Amino acid sequence: MASSCCRTWHLLLAIFLLSSAAYGQLSPSFYATSCPLLELTVRATMVTALLAERRMGASLLRLHFHDCFVQGCDGSILLDDVGTSFTGEKTAFPNVNSVRGYDVIDRIKSAVELLCPGVVSCADIVALAARDGTFLLGGPSWTVPLGRRDSTTASLAEANADLPGPTLNLDQLIRAFDKKQLTPRDLTALSGAHTIGFSQCQFFRDHIYNGTNIDPAFAALRRQTCPAAAPAGDANLAPLDAQTQLVFDNAYYRNLVAQRGLLHSDQQLFNGGSQDALVRQYGTNPALFAADFVAAMIKMGNIAPLTGTNGQIRRNCRVVNS
């Protein structure tokens, strides 16, 4: 009996340690008692949002990425500028007139506050919305570790410095992800988020006019709606994945093999470098891509979260509690 109890205790301890290693201080069951209808509420609002505009799934996935790469996954990207007293991250070059979905986060937060006032962080809502946006567009689902708290600060400088830009080469991309404790494999898997969504002409103009590693027919197609001379057409949109622009699949990687990556930084993943073999694998093995994407999303979602008594639970995602 004692031996059996000891074995059971050791098994439970091993499971706890494995869970802690994967999730850090976060837990998928964090709101199980305090807000049991949280995930159903997020999902319902996301379904409504995507019925109105399917592209919003990609936008909210990107919002999570842009949140986590600046100060960690703390909801700092959601904070509005307040006169001269507070500067947020929304006007950073990678975010301004580009990052979308703030209004959907507001709607989710309002619905959650009616059920569980003062309990659920905006940072956790962003993480759940990113997961649901992926799933509702045909991608994988995953259990989201929860328990993040919201920052009372933001960093315009860090947003400008740390968010990887579309002109980076492979070495620069690897360094940018390594700075966030993400591996080259994580980089290549997370880049698969570009299987959905759109980019503005200003971000791919140089690649389609001056790139040497782009399919000529694809470049010609994109030039039709992206004039060579800026600022004409700067905000014109093109799908990151021309094949299945609003379906989360592995077509992005097949595009790269065919030199049909929209952004210079995309095509860098398949350009005679260290990620070529993995890109080929993802292009032919959707299950492998899905598994690696989920693992990388969970890992990214665990970048420097505020937990315990750090930060706060904002009442309004756009402003720090007064």
Q: What is the DSSP string of 255-274?
A: HHHTT--SSHHHHTTSSSST
Q: What's phi and psi for 89, nearest 5 deg?
A: -105, -5
Query: CA dihedral defined by 118, 120, 126, 127, rounded to 10 degrees?
Result: 170
Q: How far is Cα of residue 249 from the mean position of the Cα atoms in its chain?
A: 16
Cα separations in angstroms, 26 against 19, 22, 35, 208: 9, 9, 16, 42
241 annotated as ligand-binding = yes
194 annotated as ligand-binding = yes
From 64, 66, 207, 264, the catalytic residue:
66
24 annotated as ligand-binding = no
Query: CA dihedral defined by 91, 97, 99, 103, rounded to 10 degrees?
Result: 100
207 is catalytic: no
244 annotated as ligand-binding = yes
Burial of 137 (0-12, 13-18, 19+ CB in 10 A): buried
284 annotated as ligand-binding = no
70 annotated as ligand-binding = yes
76 annotated as ligand-binding = yes
72 annotated as ligand-binding = yes
Binding residue numbers: 67, 70, 72, 74, 76, 89, 164, 194-195, 241, 244, 249
Catalytic residue positions, numbered = 66
Binding residue numbers for Ca(2+): 67, 70, 72, 74, 76, 89, 195, 241, 244, 249
Binding residue numbers for heme b: 194
